[in-house]
Amino acid sequence: MTRNKEEFVPTPSQTVGPFFHLGLTKGELRRQMAGANARGEHIRLMIRVIDADGAAVPDAMIEIWQADASGKYNHPEDPQDQTPDPAFCGFGRLPTDENGVAVFETVRPGGVPGIDGAVQAPHVSVHVFSRGILRHLSTRIYFAGDPANVDDAILRLVPALRRSTLIASPCAREACTWKIDCRLGGEEETVFFDC
């Protein structure tokens, strides 16, 4: 039996998921990146994931990667001649809660050398996994008021009017807490990078 073309109605494409919370076990999550003896300024980094309409995304997963307080990555490919802080793990992974928030216990990172040898401003690399996104999104978080932001080569690639989407600000209500919104779309969409 054949059907007329008019009988076939296109349907919206679908992605598998949301599955990020279901696929993770507690052993795979890492909120606490800095031990009690970790060097540097201990901070809480609060990342809120929201969609283009400003609604919370309660089923996303956030992974972060950063250097320790002296600017050393705990990775064999970091060429710096220094030992990473043994009380600090540079990797974190958390699902967002019902308000779209993930909070990491970490340290404020130090500046790291860039490809050209110039020191980059202290930053945190971020990967966002979420429903409707077939490939993770990559971005960075910088810290408001850091004088090194002005000369950071990557931040300078971003148009001046969009840089604020990459800048975490101190939370007035909670000491040692930095917060940032990661907006997945819309007019104030976070700047994402191809990596």
Q: In this structure, is residue 147 part of a structural domain?
A: yes
Give Cα separations from 164 to 56, 73, 189 (angstroms): 20, 25, 10
Q: What is the pLDDT of residue 190?
A: 96
Q: What is the pLDDT of residue 78?
A: 79
pLDDT in tens, 172-184: 777 789 999 999 9
d(CA 35, CA 44) in angstroms, rounded, equals: 13
Q: What angle do CA 6, 11, 14 make, to 5 degrees?
A: 160
Contact 79, 24 (CB under 8 A): no
pLDDT range class, residue 16, cuts 50, 70, 90: very low
Q: In this structure, is residue 17 part of a structural domain?
A: no
Contact 46, 100 (CB under 8 A): no
d(CA 114, CA 125) in angstroms, rounded, equals: 14
Q: In this structure, is residue 132 part of a structural domain?
A: yes
pLDDT in tens, 46-59: 999 999 999 999 99
Q: What is the pLDDT of residue 26?
A: 57
Greatest distance between any 2 Cα atoms in the chain: 73
Q: In this structure, is residue 10 part of a structural domain?
A: no
Check which CATH number belongs to the domain holding 109 and give it: 2.60.130.10
pTM: 0.85
